[in-house]
Amino acid sequence: MTEGSASPEALPRVHRLYWWKEAAIVIAFYVVYSWIRNRFGSNQIAKDGVPEAAFHNAERIIQMERAVGLFHEESIQELFLAQRWFIQFWNVYYGTAHFFVTLAVFILLFFKRKDVFPQWRNTLAAMTALAIIGFAFFPLMPPRLLDQPCPSAESVEFGGACVESSLRPGKEQIFDGSNGFGFVDTLSVYGGPWRFDSEEVASISNQYAAMPSLHIGWSVWCALAVWPLLRRRWTRVAVLLYPLATLFCIIVTANHFWLDGAGGLLAFMVGALLGWGLHRWNQNRLDRRDMLNAMLSERSGGTPQRFRLSSVASEIFDDVQGEADESPASSLTDPSLPGPDAPSE
């Protein structure tokens, strides 16, 4: 770089998105989730015996909610159990919206918000990874299973009715049909897209993957990610209501405690910090690379080339070699030094 010349600026960088790359990320996460489900999920826990850890974790959640005076999930569910069609609607909502809405927003961001798609993709990935860790190390029995039969060789069950609990009403600590927590497994009683007690669904699901609630985490992600694309007021209101409707759904179907939803919100917040932070780190790395490319390009006088370690090594070698070649020649041509034929005094 010559003296007085302006420092080179990095060439503008264009984000390139590839659908196959995003599909590969989704598949990779599913593979990891499947491995953790098979290693730590409800099938493995039920195979090993009574799911005491998942049941006792549910007791801890109940105790925390009671401590703040907000253990009301059973009362909320009871208000709507008489409306069969209403419960069936929320069963379908629980089993479909969670996946299809998230997938639709993911695709919409890919085509409509390319400038921020990497940040939101990273956020979704980080949040899901945090949830998978939670599922592995904090198995949590959902409310609908607290009074259901325990696992046995004769049937596909994942409940905790056989586990002793001081939180059950009355003196008996084992469920006897009258001292339950009062939750209804709406999928089994009212019907829905599937039944968790079927062998096919049980083999691909983790009954104790409740904390944090990805239904809440993903719904918040969808609402905030798609918000800038909306112009009409009613669409923005509807998007903001989506996470609230999801919270109502997971409670009225007894698939989660409300504290699971709070855990899902926390997972989203931490995932956003990690996702956007990772994107910022990667952008800084690419900026440094592009700046170095521009400097090398100006020095060589050629077209901008991508930075490669080999090119830097080659530059250094050429400089060293050039200095080595010039040293002998300079000593022979220096007029201050006597030549080989110079007469001695």
d(Cα 135, Cα 255) in Å, to the nearest integer?
Answer: 14
The whole-model pTM stands at 0.79
Whether 123 has a pLDDT exceeding 90, the answer reads yes
Quick one: pLDDT band at residue 15, thresholds 50, 70, 90? low
Q: What is the pLDDT of residues 205-215, one digit of tens each?
A: 788 999 999 99
d(Cα 197, Cα 331) in Å, to the nearest integer?
Answer: 91
Q: What is the DSSP letter of 143?
A: G
Is the CB of residue 263 less than 8 Å from the CB of residue 250?
A: no
Whether 81 has a pLDDT exceeding 80, the answer reads yes
Is the CB of residue 286 less than 8 Å from the CB of residue 13?
A: yes
Q: Which of 62-66, 179-183, 276-280 has the lowest mean pLDDT?
A: 276-280
Read off the pLDDT of each residue in 143-158 and give the average, rounded to a whole number.
Answer: 85
Please, how many CA atoms are within 13 Å of residue 3, restricted to the half-sphere of its CB? 0
Measuring CA to CA, which residue among 271, 214, 220 is closest to residue 244? Answer: 220
Q: Is the peptide bond before 118 cis (omega within 30 degrees of 0)?
A: no
Whether 291 has a pLDDT exceeding 60, the answer reads yes
Whether 166 has a pLDDT exceeding 80, the answer reads yes
Please, how many CA atoms are within 13 Å of residue 300, restricted to the half-sphere of its CB? 17
Quick one: pLDDT band at residue 202, thresholds 50, 70, 90? low
Read off the pLDDT of each residue in 102-122 and give the average, rounded to a whole number.
Answer: 92
Quick one: pLDDT band at residue 140, thresholds 50, 70, 90? very high
d(Cα 37, Cα 31) in Å, to the nearest integer?
Answer: 10
Q: What is the pLDDT of residues 300-337, one digit of tens each?
A: 765 555 545 444 444 444 554 555 454 444 444 444 44
Whether 196 has a pLDDT exceeding 70, the answer reads no
Cβ neighbors of 286 (< 8 A, separation 6 or more) are: 13
d(Cα 119, Cα 225) in Å, to the nearest integer?
Answer: 10
What rounded mean pLDDT belongs to the chain? 82
Quick one: pLDDT band at residue 32, thresholds 50, 70, 90? confident
Quick one: pLDDT band at residue 135, thresholds 50, 70, 90? very high
Q: What is the DSSP letter of 106?
A: H
Question: What is the structure's pLDDT at 40?
Answer: 77
Q: Which of 43-47, 62-66, 262-266, 305-309 has the lowest mean pLDDT?
A: 305-309
